[in-house]
Structure 1
Amino acid sequence: MFPLYDILPSRKKPYVTVALILINIVVFVYQLTLGDRELLVFMYKYGLVPARYTVDRVREALGFSLFPFISHMFLHGGFWHILGNMWFLWIFGDNTEDEMGHFGYALFYLSAGVFAALVQFAFFLHSTTPMIGASGAVSGVMGAYFVLFPYSRIVTLFPFFFFLTLVEIPAFYYLLIWFFIQVMNSLVGTYGVAWWAHIGGFVYGMLWGYILRMKRIHRYRY
C-alpha cells in the first residue's frame, strides 16, 4: 500500500515543507561524501544516542549535548530511508502547513520530532545505537493530517494478486491502518526501526490537529 499523492490541493505554497526536504537532501549528500569512519563519527555526534544521557562512560566519550534531539531528524541511513520519509512529508506536509501557517508548521515539525525522539528514548534508555531520521517528525505531520483532513483521499498503489492497481483510500482509513502497523511492530519488537518514535510523533500530531480543529470550529461558529 504505497501512497502516490492526496487529492486535496493546498491554497498556499508549502515553503517550509520544501525547505525541510531540501535540508534533508543536502545533509544526506554530505553524508555520502564521508568515508566509513567519518560517517560513523558523524552519526554518533549528531544522531540521538540514549546512552549519552544515561551511561557515564558513553557520556564521557561523546560529550554532553542536547543538539542531537534536533539534528537526528536531518540524518538518514540510506537512499530508501530518506526517500520514504521525504515522500510522506511531501504528500502530507503541504496541507498541514496550509492549516498551521508557515511559522506554526515549522515549530510543530521540530517539536514533533523532539517529542517522538523522547518517546523512543524512554523505551531504550541505555541504547548505544544512534537514532536517526525524520520519521518521528513526519509521523507528527501525518497525525495532524489524520485529524484535520480525514475525508481527503490518498491515491495509493495497491497490490492485487499479481497486479498493481490505483485505489483512492480515505485519509482516515489509510493513516489508521498505518498507525496500527506501527503499534503492531512495536509490540513484536521488530529491530532497526524507531517504531515508538512513529507512534509518539503521530499521537503528538493528533493533539495539535485536534486543537487546531477546535479553533477552526470555534471560528466558523462565531
Structure 2
Amino acid sequence: MFLPLHDGVPLRHLKTPVVTRSLLVACTVAYLLTFYGPIGPDATVAGFGMIPAVLFGIEVLPPGFPFVPESLTLTTNIFLHGSLLHLIGNMLFLWVFGDNVEDAMGHLRFLVFFLVCGTAASLTHAFIEPDSHRPLIGASGGVSGVVAAYLILYPRVRIWGLFLKGIPLRLPAYWAIGFWFVLQFLAAFLGGDDSVGWFAHLGGFVVGAALTPFMRHRYDPVLARVEAQELQAPR
C-alpha cells in the first residue's frame, strides 16, 4: 500500500491548477449523484460504467442501458467510484500529483492527457477481460497516467506518504512511485483482489509515460532533473 500525502513542489507556470481541481469536483459530484441521486447506484453504474462484454457485443443490457454509446463508457466510467474510500484514494493521488503535471503541460493538454490515459486504461482492461460482466469504474487509470508523468518530470522530488500498513516516510518520487508500480504489477500478474482493475492501472501508467515527453511544454529531461534538484536544495 502507498498513499501520497504531500510533495511541496510549487507551481512555476500556472497560478491555479484549474483542471486538477475541476476533475476533483467532477468526480466528487458524480459520487454524490451515484449514491444520493434519483437514479440509484446500480442504474448509474450500469448506465455509465464500462462493461467489457457489452462493449464487445458479447452481451446486451436491458432496454435503456447504457445511457451513452458503449464506446463512450470507456471515458464516462472514469468519473464514477464504488465507495467513499475508492473516491478518496484516487482523489488523493490526483491532488498530490495532478497540479504539478498540469503545471508542466498546461490546462488543455493536461485535460486531454488525463482523459486519454483513463480511456486507454479502460480499453486495456476490456481487452484483458473481454468476457467480463463486471462494470469497470474509477479514475485510477487516468490517475496512473498522471503518476507516470510525475515520475518522469520530478523523479527526485521527495514525497511524504504512508507505506505498507500506514508507515509515514519521505522518499524520492522514483522510490515511492516505483514501489507503487511494483505493487500494481504483482497484483495484476500474480492475482490481486479481482474487484480491482489492475491491468487498467498498468495501461494508464504505460500510456502516461509514453505521452509525457510530447505533452509537456518544452520538455527537456535534463532540465527536469535540474529543476528537481533545485527544489530539493536547502533554502
CA contact (8 A) 1:154 1:174 kept: yes
CA contact (8 A) 2:106 2:217 kept: no
Q: Distance in 2 between matches of 1:14 and 1:202?
A: 21
Structure 2 residue 154 is matched with structure 1 residue 149: yes
Residue 126 of structure 2 corresponds to which residue in structure 1?
121
Residue 195 of structure 1 corresponds to which residue in structure 2?
198
Identify unmatched segments of 5+ residues in structure 2.
Answer: 224-235
In the TM superposition, structure 1's runs of 4+ consecutive aligned residues that sit over 3 Å from their partners are 59-64, 157-160, 210-215
Residue 2 of structure 1 corresponds to which residue in structure 2?
3
Matches within 5 A, 1:13-28: 13-28=16-31
Counterpart amino acid of 2:155? P
TM-score, reference length from structure 1: 0.88
Cα distance, 1:57–1:181 mapped onto 2, change above 3 Å: closer
Partner of 1:216, secondary structure, is: coil
TM-score, reference length from structure 2: 0.84
Structure 2 residue 43 is matched with structure 1 residue 38: no
Q: Distance in 1 between matches of 2:197 and 2:32?
A: 23
**Percent of pairs identical after alignment?**
34
CA contact (8 A) 2:105 2:217 kept: no
Residue 51 of structure 2 corresponds to which residue in structure 1?
49
Q: Distance in 1 between matches of 2:75 and 2:36?
A: 22
Q: CA deviation at 1:155?
A: 1.0
Cα distance, 1:78–1:209 mapped onto 2, change above 3 Å: same
Q: Distance in 2 between matches of 1:189 and 1:17?
A: 32
CA contact (8 A) 1:48 1:132 kept: yes
Cα distance, 1:218–1:6 mapped onto 2, change above 3 Å: closer
Q: Distance in 1 between matches of 2:221 and 2:161?
A: 34
Partner of 2:220, secondary structure, is: helix
Identify unmatched segments of 5+ residues in structure 1.
Answer: none
Q: Distance in 2 between matches of 1:183 and 1:159?
A: 16
Residue 173 of structure 1 corresponds to which residue in structure 2?
175
Partner of 1:155, secondary structure, is: strand
CA displacement 1:108-150 (0-9 Å, x = unmatched)? 0001100011111110001111000000000000011111110
Q: Distance in 1 between matches of 2:36 and 2:215?
A: 42
Q: Distance in 2 between matches of 1:172 and 1:210?
A: 17
Q: CA deviation at 1:158?
A: 4.6
Q: Distance in 2 between matches of 1:126 and 1:101?
A: 38
Q: CA deviation at 1:57?
A: 3.9
CA displacement 1:93-117 (0-9 Å, x = unmatched)? 0000000000000000001100011
Partner of 1:66, secondary structure, is: helix
Aligned residues: 216
Q: Distance in 1 between matches of 2:100 and 2:83?
A: 27
Query: Of 78, 96, 103, which aligns to 1:98?
Result: 103
CA displacement 1:2-56 (0-9 Å, x = unmatched)? 3211131123211100000001111111112147x83212111100001112344
Partner of 1:58, secondary structure, is: coil
Higher helix share: 1
Q: Distance in 2 between matches of 1:167 and 1:195?
A: 25
Counterpart amino acid of 2:206? V
Q: CA deviation at 1:219?
A: 11
Structure 2 residue 83 is matched with structure 1 residue 73: no
CA contact (8 A) 1:8 1:153 kept: no
Partner of 1:112, secondary structure, is: helix
Matches within 5 A, 1:79-94: 79-94=84-99
